[in-house]
Amino acid sequence: MFRNVTAIHLHLAGVFQRKKAGTSLARCLHQTFAMAKRLPARRLDGIDHNPWVEFGKMASEYDVVNLGQGFPDFPPPDFAVQAFQLALSGDFMLNQYTRAFGYPPLTKILASFFGKLLEQEIDPLKNVLVTVGAYGALFTAFQALVDEGDEVIIIEPFFDCYEPMTLMAGGHPVFVTLKPSPTGDGELDSAGNWRLDPTELASKFTSRTKALILNTPNNPLGKVFSKAELELVASLCQQHDVICISDEVYQWLVYDGHQHVSIASLPGMWERTLTIGSAGKSFSATGWKVGWALGPDSLMKHLRTVQQNSVYHCPTQGQAAVAQSFQHEQLHFGQPSSYFVQLPQAMWRSRDHMVRSLQSVGLRPVVPQGSYFLIADISDFKSKMPDLPGDVDEPYDKRFVKWMIRNKGLAGIPVSIFYSRPHQKHFDHYVRFCFVKITSGSGL
């Protein structure tokens, strides 16, 4: 930068001259010695914007009812809270490190609990990894298994982290869209009417396809994939030797008699599937950030490599509380006293209350089969108020949500953020709402 000492002296003289003129010394030096090298890693290109930060900030700036973000506004069940309190006040060694890949009582109960559901002999040391929430399990999976140039099939609408996680790992996202079927006049749409085209799905598999990510029940749509749909996905994954990353965090939240099926339970799929779950969604304690991945050791050993070289392990006390909570559920599983029975019953009522409320103000809800969420069609508002303020290229649903926050005191999430950029314009007339709220009528 400088050829000799004299040049340095002359440059610093200029700095101090500017200082005398009123510019702070710190600012002068910052301007002088700002790094010429590129700072952010290239893997961050194009993924710096986060809609949750944007809309969360707006919701906090206005006095709103926040039905945008997916967290309950009621406490976890008493047995889970008591388990956490015991973890804090009981064994003092729970303040220390535990096993890197999971607190042993937790990995043991997860292996036992899900082994029965998946009809597998699950080894708590080889087939279970405890992570920093399901989000951490997803990130670890992408980093462990997706390589430069690998293709990852993502079903739209998709939880928005799947695309940036693919890109950060060097992969190439390939999108296939759930398409809604027409409904009759006056008939409510259902998430079950949104289906994959088998031919289109098959066309997305190539020799470069490494993984497919499945989310059932789906966020934001609330679709619970049927066994037949899962068998189609499984057949294609086996035919093309593709890994399935199955995000099943809402597995207990299914309604109207629908059944959640884990794709890993289908013939030939355990060997190529990572099943991801969440204590936060299971026990209504999203801030605990305890998640897990289940799968064959041939896959899990690579996730362990990522974890031991990143977060290393998760907070011990939270894991202890989750272990106790699952032990409670194992004793009560399938009975009226089970939280996994009580929670969906309460949320079913909450969902129906929100459906009626949205209809009363002119929105057309798509009735979900599961999850925390439903989406509502805002086409009537789009035709009546087409020119809401916003950027020229901003999708209509984003402008509508901002208008709703500012003028109606209600926060939702624009559904276009759950689509790839080329497809956003086709789905910019929906807004996602979270109904896992006492304020929406759950009565839990």
- Residue 417 scores a pLDDT above 90: yes
Is the pLDDT reported for residue 23 higher than 80?
A: no
Q: How far apart are CA 11 and CA 262, in angstroms?
A: 66
Residue 13's contacts (CB-CB under 8 Å, 6 or more residues apart) are: none
Q: What is the pLDDT of residues 378-388, one digit of tens each?
A: 999 999 999 99
- What is the value of pTM for the model shown? 0.90
Number of helices and strands (H, E) in the chain? 16, 16
Interval 179-204 mean pLDDT: 92
Least confident of 58-72, 79-93, 410-424: 58-72
49-74+338-434, which class in CATH?
alpha beta
How many other β-carbons are positioned within 10 Å of the β-carbon of residue 346?
A: 16
Mean pLDDT calculated for residue range 312-328: 97
The answer, yes or no, to whether residue 444 has pLDDT greater than 80, is: no
The rounded distance, in Å, linking the Cα atoms of 335 and 345 is 13
The pLDDT value given to residue 437: 87
Using the predicted structure, report yes or no on whether residue 6 has a pLDDT greater than 70.
Answer: no
Residues of the chain with pLDDT > 90, as a percent, come to 79
Highest CATH level, class, for 91-332: alpha beta
Q: How many residues does the chain have?
A: 444
Return d(Cα 277, Cα 167) in angstroms, integer.
Answer: 23
pLDDT one-digit tens code per residue, 331-373: 999 999 999 999 999 999 999 999 999 999 999 999 999 999 9
Q: Output the pLDDT for position 49.
A: 80
85: left (phi over 0), alpha (psi -120 to 50) or beta: alpha
The answer to whether 243 and 299 have CB atoms below 8 angstroms apart is yes
Quote the mean pLDDT of the chain. Answer: 91
Q: Which two tokens stand for residue 26?
A: 């710190």
The predicted structure's pLDDT at residue 439:
60
Specify whether the CB–CB gap between 81 and 288 falls below 8 A. no
Query: Are 49-74+338-434 and 91-332 equal in CATH topology?
Result: no
The helix or strand, by DSSP H or E, that contains position 377, with its residue range, turns out to be strand 373-377
DSSP string, 170-228: T-EEEEEE-EEPP--TTPPEEGGGEE--HHHHHHT--TTEEEEEEESS-TTT-----HH
Q: What is the pLDDT of residue 50?
A: 81
Confidence band, pLDDT 50/70/90 cuts, at residue 52 = confident
- In the prediction, which pLDDT does 54 show? 84
Instruction: Tally Cβ neighbours within 10 Å of residue 99.
Output: 14
**Residue ranges per structural domain of the chain:** 49-74+338-434, 91-332
